[in-house]
Amino acid sequence: MQRQRFGQQLQYDDPTANNRCFENMKRILFFITFLANICSLSAWDNAHGHILIDNLYYDLDTASSTARVVSMATIRDWMEGTMSSNYQGMKMANIPSAVTYRDTVYTVTRIQDCAFMGCSSLDSVIIPNTVTWMGNLVFADCDNLEYMEIPSSLTYVGAMSFPSDLTKTIHIHYMGTLEEWCNKPWTVSPNSNITCTPHELYFYDTKLTDVVIPETVTNIAEATFRCCRSITSLTTGDHLVSIGNSAFSACRNLASIHIGNRLSEIQNGAFSYCDSLVSVTIPDNVTTLGERIFEQCRSLTYIRFPGGLAKIPDGTCSGCTRLTTLILPDTVRIIGRSAFESCALKDFVLPGSVTTIQPYAFSYLLSPSVTIAHGSALDQVGEYAFYGGQLKAIYVPCGELEHFRQVLSDYTKIVQYGKPYNLVLDVQNGYVDHTEMHTVCDSITLRVYPLRNYHFVQWSDGNTDNPRTILLSQDTSLTAECAINEYRVRFFDFYKELLEEQWVKHGEDAVLPEAPVVEHYIFVRWDHDCTNVQQKLDVYAMYKPDPEDIGHVLSESKNPAKLLQNGQILILRGEKVYTLQGQEVK
């Protein structure tokens, strides 16, 4: 990385990144030209009576008894190379809370645009808690500035107010709370990418390393922690709703983030250039993603996008050269421009929901192949979408080779069917037979043969066909489930009426019910052995006459329920007649 003057972007070896930096630089120069008019006004005012008090120039407002710190230098002087700051040689700027001029006390409330711009000797600044406004380019190009005390009273901070030399370390001591810091307006222009650069951030004298966002904070303002090298981790609760533009950009030691489930918005470049970030899971509640969120996160290896997302924005993971694992929801329809440029995606499968791939989306891939999922709706591919890099093959679904050769007309030579997929089969309590596999698009017939006394139940994917035929369009693993046979065992009472029904697994014992009591009879046994059941059974209760009760039966033979016929005792039950042995008499 090269040392940069203020307003320039970081430059890396990636030529496309340099192109983007050039485009941003043009926008910033336009913005600087606009600011020139503001700073020129300050120069005009300086010529008309700014007051020098204790080595600092002030513009005094007698009506409100307030003062603002000003400078003789202008942005135009800097652009023309003729800048000579009136604060050259100053090492420490200890701005007072009030100054006295002609017996009147003036409270210092503002630091005007360009006030200390170009003061290369300045190494420390202390701003009092009376200052509420700090203008544009105040400390721009103060490349030796190392220490600043910033009050919580600030309500406005202009664009590009801090030095941009990222080879230096600026220690910013904020005299307020983390909650107040998160809500500071650190930038005023979307074209300004360099605003606050707290390389090491302190709250009073405590250095910030592990950031835990307070529950009272619902939004983190843009550029809040930009370039804060001291931060190593970020944790938010379910209170946080939005993370602003470049909020954690260039936090080079930020290695882990844990985001609450209420977060719904992550804005442009929020975590770009976070060199130590390894793994990211974006909560499913996030519905709005800005561009270039993880751009140039060169240690990032894993990212999971939220369910329900329709588009991966432009430049989302551009330059993430170690990104191998990417999980996209099956709702994504559009892959944005340069979204995964220069990534190293491994075994990446493009979801079937994707219909559009915009230009440069997968350019300069460091992986050899990309697979388009079976049933893909892809029909629009932008120019240079898969340009350059190490991509050797785009694998397409079975039977759709010609279709995708038309859709991917610039890459016809690498559009092909993939190598034969792996088929892994497992069977519980049986074995499976299938036809030989020859090509990636083979139809394979599978038949399960259960072990003796077992039966087939289903495949692990819920299919119950046996045999079944599958089209091998991806690596497939299936398990056939076979269960042991079960047999119905029914128990009947003395009158051959169903007493109880059971289902018993092969080889197990049925549970014998209690035999019902029958008057004048004694239960003897059940007519089948109910152990080690291997078939369905109907089991009847066996009785014999009670000899002690025969005389009693004869003495009551006139009873219509019992009668003696041809020397045999018969039992009447409803309209049927039975012997003492339980046999029905017709």
Question: For 489-521, how does the pLDDT look when each residue is reduced to its tens digit (9 = 90+)?
Answer: 999 998 889 999 999 999 999 999 999 998 888
Of 39, 221, 287, 6, nearest to 120 (Cα)? 6
Asked whether the predicted pLDDT for residue 264 surpasses 70, the reply is: yes
Q: Is residue 369 part of a domain?
A: no
Q: What CA–CA distance (Å, rounded) separates 314 from 388? A: 18
One domain, residues 160 and 195: yes
Q: Which of 490, 494, 530 is nearest to 510 (CA)?
A: 530
Confidence of residue 568 (pLDDT cuts 50, 70, 90): low
Q: How many CB atoms lie within 10 A of CB 213?
A: 20
576, 472: one domain = no
Considering only residues 29 and 514, tell me which one the structure prediction assigns the higher pLDDT. 514
In whole angstroms, give the CA distance from residue 424 to residue 419.
16
Indicate the residue among 204, 225, 254 that finishes a domain. Answer: 204
| Residues 305, 290: Cα–Cα separation, whole Å | 13
pLDDT of residue 585: 75
The percent of residues in the chain predicted with pLDDT above 90, rounded, is 50
Q: In the prediction, which pLDDT does 423 show? A: 84
Residue with tokens 């929020």: 270
SS3 30: helix
CA pair distance 586, 574, nearest whole angstrom: 13
Confirm whether 190 is domain-assigned. yes
Say whether both 467 and 500 belong to one domain. Answer: no
Q: What is the mean pLDDT of residues 130-158?
A: 89
Residue at token pair 């139809």: 443
pLDDT at 268: 93
Judged by DSSP in three states, 73 sits in: coil
Q: What token pair was written down for 42? A: 């300050």
Least confident of 28-42, 145-159, 205-219, 305-319: 28-42
- Is residue 405 a part of any domain in this protein? no
Instruction: Please give the average per-residue pLDDT across 259-271, as a whole number.
Output: 93
Rounded mean pLDDT, 283-287: 92
- Binned at pLDDT 50, 70 and 90, residue 83 comes out as low
Structure tokens at 571: 């039992």
Average pLDDT, integer, range 176-193: 70
Q: How far apart are CA 275 and CA 446, in angstroms?
A: 50
Question: Which residues is 242 bridged to in the sheet?
Answer: 219, 265
The answer to which of 43-52, 79-88, 287-296, 461-470 has the lowest mean pLDDT is: 43-52
Residues 467 and 573 occupy one common structural domain: no
Classify residue 456 by burial, with Cβ atoms within 10 Å: 0-12, 13-18, 19+.
Answer: buried
* Domain count within the chain: 3
First-to-last alpha carbon distance for the chain, in angstroms, is 110
Q: Is a pLDDT exceeding 80 seen at residue 238?
A: yes
Q: 127 and 42 share a domain?
A: yes
Domain closes at, from 204, 233, 252: 204
SS3 of residue 410 by DSSP: helix
- Residue 105, SS3? strand
Residue 246 CA to chain centroid, in angstroms?
19
Give the mean model confidence (pLDDT) for residues 130-135: 93
Q: What mean pLDDT is predicted for residues 15-28?
A: 43
pLDDT the model gives residue 40? 41
Contacts of 42 (CB under 8 A, 6+ apart): 70, 71, 74, 112, 113, 114
| Domain co-membership, 108 together with 153 | yes
Rg from Cα positions in the chain: 42
Average pLDDT over residues 89-95: 92
Lowest mean pLDDT among 166-170, 314-318, 331-335, 563-567: 563-567
Rounded to the nearest integer, the mean pLDDT of the chain is 82
Looking at the structure, tell me whether residues 462 and 514 fall in a common domain: no
Looking at residues 248-260, what average pLDDT do you find? 92
* Residue-range definition of the domain harbouring residue 449: 423-484
pTM: 0.65
- Indicate which CATH number applies to the domain containing 39: 3.80.10.10
Edge-to-edge strand order for the sheet containing 468-471? Answer: 430-434, 443-450, 468-471
Q: Are residues 476 and 571 in the same domain?
A: no
Residues 37 and 181 in one domain: yes
Note the pLDDT of residue 274.
95
**Domain final residue pick, 166, 181, 204:** 204
93-111 average pLDDT score: 95
Asked if the structure places residue 242 within a domain, the reply is no
Asked if residue 25 is part of any domain, the answer here is yes
Location of structure tokens 């370390």? 169
User: Does 276 score more than 70 pLDDT?
Assistant: yes
Confidence at residue 38, expressed as pLDDT on a 0 to 100 scale: 43
What are the tens digits of pLDDT across the range 453-476? 899 999 999 999 999 988 777 778
Answer whether the bond into residue 283 is a cis peptide, omega within 30°. Answer: no
Mean pLDDT of 535-548: 87
In a domain, 96, yes or no: yes
Assigned domain for 432 exists: yes
Q: What's the confidence (pLDDT) of residue 186?
A: 66
- Report CA-CA distances (Å) from 105 to 64, 96, 111: 11, 12, 17
* CB burial readout 252-263, b (16+ within 10 A) else e: bebbebebbeeb
Q: Tell me how far apart the alpha carbons of residues 325 and 303 are, in angstroms, rounded to a whole number.
A: 7
Give the residue, 111 or 85, on which the prediction is more confident: 111
Residues shown for the chain: 586
Q: pLDDT band for 445, please (50, 70, 90 cuts).
A: confident
**Tens-digit pLDDT profile for residues 337-381:** 999 999 999 889 999 999 999 999 999 999 999 999 888 999 999
pLDDT at residue 575, as a whole number: 67
Closest CA to 469 of 493, 444, 494: 444
**Banded pLDDT at 140 (limits 50, 70, 90):** confident
Q: Are residues 449 and 540 in the same domain?
A: no
Joined tokens for residue 561: 């329920």
Residues 432 and 579 reside in one and the same domain: no
- On whether both 428 and 573 belong to a single domain, the answer is no
Q: How far is CA 358 from CA 354, 391, 428, in A?
A: 11, 17, 48
Higher-pLDDT residue of 435 and 53 is 53
DSSP-derived 3-state class of residue 229: coil
Residues 6+ apart with CB under 8 A from 320: 294, 295, 296, 297, 298, 300, 340, 342, 343
Predicted pLDDT at 41: 41
pLDDT at 195: 55
pLDDT(225) > 70: yes
| Domain contains 226 | no
Arithmetic mean of pLDDT, 234-248: 91
Whole-number pLDDT of residue 420: 74
Joined together, the tokens standing for residue 535 give 């078939």
Residue 566 predicted with pLDDT over 70: no
How does residue 584 score in pLDDT terms, banded at 50, 70 and 90?
confident
Q: In this predicted structure, what is the pLDDT of residue 550? A: 55
Q: Residue range 103-118: average pLDDT?
A: 92
